[in-house]
Amino acid sequence: MSRAVWFATGTGVLAGLVACGGEDLSRVLPSVEVQDGVEIATLAALPDFSDPAYQWTFRVLESIPTVTANDERPLVFDARSLLPLPDGSLLIHDHTAAVPLVQVGPSRRSPIRRIGRSGEGPGEMGPWLTLAAREAGFVVFDGSNRQLHAFSRDGQATGSTRLELSSTGSGAQAAAGGFLLNLLRRGDDEWHRELAWVDPLTGRDEFVARLPTPSARAEPGRIQSGRVLWRVVGDAVVAMWSDRPVVTVYSMRGTRLRELRLPLERRQLTKRDIQEQIEHYGGIARSLEPGPAALTNELYAVGDTVFGLFTSALWRSADDPAFPAGQIWWRLFSVGGEYVGVVRIPDGFRALGASERGLWARVLDESGYPIIQELEIVRSGQDSST
């Protein structure tokens, strides 16, 4: 008996087939029951990180240098996000530049144009932008300044709208022709976070779903106590509170589709663990205290059906090996609850956005310069270069 799991992204296949024999089947497929109309998918156990049957790696499909020794002006200083446009060009957000958007042509050798201006005033863009394509061009959600900026196909600004959101919040992702926002709202007796969909034409927001709330033991302001995480994965949204091994899957309309219960246990931070984190990460680690740590600190979309759970020396389960400081992995799961495997993340990696064949990311070359690469995930042992 075997089970196949496909990585799909856009119209293409991100990677191959995961096939497991009967002995391994219970380690990959969840048991599923239905409670109140919602699927509960429970994984009994996960394979060891070192198990080669579940190891994946990145294959480079395309590589774009952002700076060379003779450049008077780099193509991009520090890319934060990227959007492929229908004409084959790429729209890149460079959050350090005075002109924050760079449109790069299909040749990738030089910019077609640079678009917009950084600032806090009307029509200006802050450091946190979310990009979305539309038929008439593209639209930008500016989370810092609470504005929507619309542009034509040739990069001309066609209007900016100041958003009158019904509450405050942070975080945005493109979805369903608009933007999903993580909003902080006041209920009858408490504050909570929820997802709202924002119409890019009117700026109006509509409730989608309430996000997971902290566990009773969580302490506000302590990163090791966890935080709410969510990510658009294809036509679904996955969300969790990062110290609880439970992932909720919603439809774009906010319907709760299933709950994924993962066999992960919180581990106890020791003084030695904390000192190692301080030596590697500095200030951010000084807020850590001995005691329980959250399981993860981020979710990533890996195509239309698979998401990655951030795993490192700090953010890991009690059963995981002690990774060297600075080493980062993603555990890979499907939105249906299957366990797919693990992939090691390159040094300097920053996920920028999805492509039809995989994903775009910022990595560092051998000299430490940032480069932009299109990557797909393949079985370990396959050729990892173009």
pLDDT of residue 19: 33
> Token pair of 289, please?
């205290």
Among the ranges given (24-28, 160-164, 378-382), the one the predictor scored with the smallest mean pLDDT: 24-28
| Mean pLDDT value across residues 311-320 | 91
As a whole number of angstroms, the distance between CA 91 and CA 89 comes to 7
Percentage of residues of the chain with pLDDT beyond 90: 46
Walk me through the domains of the chain, giving residue ranges and CATH numbers.
6-379 (2.120.10.30)
Residue 248 reports pLDDT greater than 60: yes
pTM of the entire predicted model: 0.87
Whether the predicted pLDDT of 58 surpasses 90: yes
CB 179 within 8 A of CB 134: no
Residue with the bigger pLDDT between 226 and 244: it is 244
With a cut of 80, say whether residue 294 has pLDDT above it. Answer: yes
- The CA-atom distances, in angstroms, between 174 and each of 200, 233, 296 are 10, 11, 23
pLDDT tops 80 at residue 56: yes
Q: How confident is the model at residue 343 (pLDDT cuts 50, 70, 90)?
A: very high
Q: What are phi and psi of 53, to 5 degrees?
A: -70, -15
| pLDDT value for 22 | 34
Q: What is the pLDDT of residues 265-281, one digit of tens each?
A: 998 888 888 888 788 77
Listed residue (63, 62, 135, 138) closest to 93, CA to CA: 138
Mean pLDDT of 134-148: 89
Tokens representing 183 are 């909003």
**Would you state the pLDDT for residue 379?**
87
Give percent of the chain above pLDDT 70: 86
Is the model's pLDDT at 55 over the cut of 80?
A: yes
Sign of CA dihedral 309, 59, 234, 231: positive
Burial code (b: 16+ CB inside 10 Å, e: under 16) for 343-376 equals: bbbbeebbbbbbbebbbbbbbeeeeeebbbbbbb
Take residue 340 and report the two structure tokens written for it: 């797919």
